[in-house]
Each structure stands twice: as structure tokens, then as C-alpha cells.
Amino acid sequence: MGRKRGRDIDGWLILDKPLGPTSTDMVNKLRWAFDAKKAGHGGTLDPLASGVLPIAFGKATRTIPYIMDATKRYRFTLTFGESRTTDDLEGEVLATSPNRPTDDQILAVLPALTGNVMQVPPVFSALRVGGERAYDMARAGRPPELPPRPARIDSITLVERPDADTAVFDVQSGKGVYMRSLARDIALACGTVGHISVLRRTKCGPFDLGHALTIDQISLDKSTQTVDNADALPAPLLDAATALVDIPALAVTDAEGRMLVWGQSIDPLDLVHPLPASSQGEDHLWRAMIGEHVLGLCHVRHGRLRAARMLENHEFFGEHDVDYRRTPHGTDF
């Protein structure tokens, strides 16, 4: 008897991740709950972080790279006076300091940490060094020296000071910014040491806490399934194309859509709905749409409009038995 592979389910579930489990733990739990064939997540949250964790099923996994690259927002609490091996509560104390900065001292250092900066990642991170994970090396007593990496930090806002030992910040940033490193660097710039004691992601691309469900709001008990509700999902999903709403839309005809899905290129001048003249550069990405339906993403390469990442295939147009060896689908040229 063959192994059951799961159901073809497409869409996004936005989880309000609890403290404790890893992001992969939550993907595996929900893939099992939904009996889904394919699932992944749109940006790792540490075990001691909570908040917005976008989980993709089926076609939605094709849009994960765009969520990974998207702008994110966080709220964290920085505790002054102790630096830790992991730059959060989980690690051992490395150093202490009696210095506690004033609000004015904190505000004075934030501009230098904002914008396009160089940031040293935490030693306990998933970065690879010579083929090994940095956190594995650190746990083995061989913490690597990680070089600074470019980071984009759009804004850092001091929200409140619950007491002299702590400060709460809101941060908007780009891809790959470590909040643990930012907290560490704020403390150091203030002439003290510190670590993150609370971290919560409040927004990831188009998804925020308003979209998020807690694990308790998702039906995980399969014992309640019956013949009548066996196909029901444990929670409603957002459309797979929801991840792309921040990308400009391009209306295409059925004929143009077929060409893109079949991997054929189009002269932008031949489009029924032309691209704006100011937006025909090769750094622009478009949502190809027929009516209200998103076919996928396209871009201009070598002067022609081509598929970048398609959500739909030939079956959307009622075409079957396509030989993809002769008709490449959604290919970058």
C-alpha cells in the first residue's frame, strides 16, 4: 500500500506563533492538521519569539521568497545590565554592567543604527560557516567569528520605559535583520550591555496580527472528523496570491496569459494594457491578472515580458496533457 501524500491545499494561514516551538515545528504540526501535501513558512521566528508566522500551503509556497524579502515589523523589550551568549533570555550571562541609560541617551544613539547599516549576526544563528551552522559550532564550544552583514533598518521607535532596566522598541526592517543583534548594539552604543527579553513580530509583508490565528483557534483534533466533515479545513486559508498584493498589477488578456503560463515572452509594446513607460525597467515585477484572478508574476528581461513565477499552469485555461519538455512553464530566461 502506497504512502499517503496528503491533500492538494492552496493558501496562506497566518499563525500567531506561541513561545517555545520552532517555526519548523509549527509548519509540521499544521501540515499534519491540514493533511497538506506541501507546506512551508515565510520567515523564521526563534523559539523565544512570538507573533506573525505566515505558513504557506500548495501554490502559496511559490510566493514564499516574496514574503521572505518583504518589510517586517517587530516589538521587543531590551533588558539592560546583562549580555548573554544568545543575545536573548535563553543564553548564559557573559558580562554585566551597572549602567542604565536615560531616555535621552537611548534616543541619541538610534539614528546611527537606522538605515543601511552593517550588523554582526548573533553567534547562535542558523548562518553557515564552512558548511556548519553557527549555532552548532557555538554549542560545541567553537563559537565562530561572524563578519558584519548589510542590514536595512527603516525605523526604530522607543515606545516606553517600564523601568530603568528595560526599554520597549518598535522596529521596521528589511530581510535578514536580527533583532537580537539590534538590541545588543543599542545597549553597547549606550555604554552598557543588554539582551532581548521579549520579541514579537507584528507584521510580515502584507500580513499582520489582524490576519493571525492562535494555535487554539485552529482545529487540531482529528478525532472529531466524520464522513460529512472529513474534507473541512481546520481553519480558513487566505488566497495564495494574497502574499503578492504589494506588487503592482498588470491586466493581461487570455491570450497573453496563456503565453506567459507557457513560458513564452511578449513584446511590451504588443500588450493590450501597456506597461507605464516609467516602469519598464528590468527591476520591476508585476502581478499578471485576468480580471480579479492572479496568474503569477512577470517581469521584463532583455526587452520582453516574461514569466517570473507562475501560480497557475495550463490547466487554468482548460488545457490538459501538456508536454512540459516542449513547453517550459514559468521559466526565467
**Which positions are annotated as active-site residues?**
46
Q: Which of 256, 186, 188, 220 is nearest to 33 (CA)?
A: 220
Q: Which of 32, 39, 41 is nearest to 4 (CA)?
A: 32
Q: Which of 60, 23, 22 is nearest to 38 (CA)?
A: 60
Cα separation, 256 vs 291, in Å, equals 13
For residue 160, the one-letter residue type is E
Q: Which of 326, 320, 309, 193 is nearest to 260 (CA)?
A: 309
Q: Which neighbouring-strand residues pair with 152?
A: 116
- b/e burial code for range 282-314 (CB count within 10 A of at least 16 → b): eebbbbbbbeeebbbbbbbeeeebbbbbbbbbb
Give the length of the chain: 333
Bridge-based pairing of strands 72-80 and 49-57 is unpaired
Cα separation, 128 vs 135, in Å, equals 9
Q: Which of 309, 307, 323, 216 is nearest to 263 (CA)?
A: 307
H-assigned helices in the chain: 23-34, 64-68, 103-109, 134-139, 179-189, 254-261
Cα separation, 8 vs 11, in Å, equals 10
**What is the sign, positive or negative, of the torsion defined by CA atoms of 47, 50, 54, 56?**
positive
Instruction: Quickly tell me which residue has 491545499 as its cell.
Output: 9
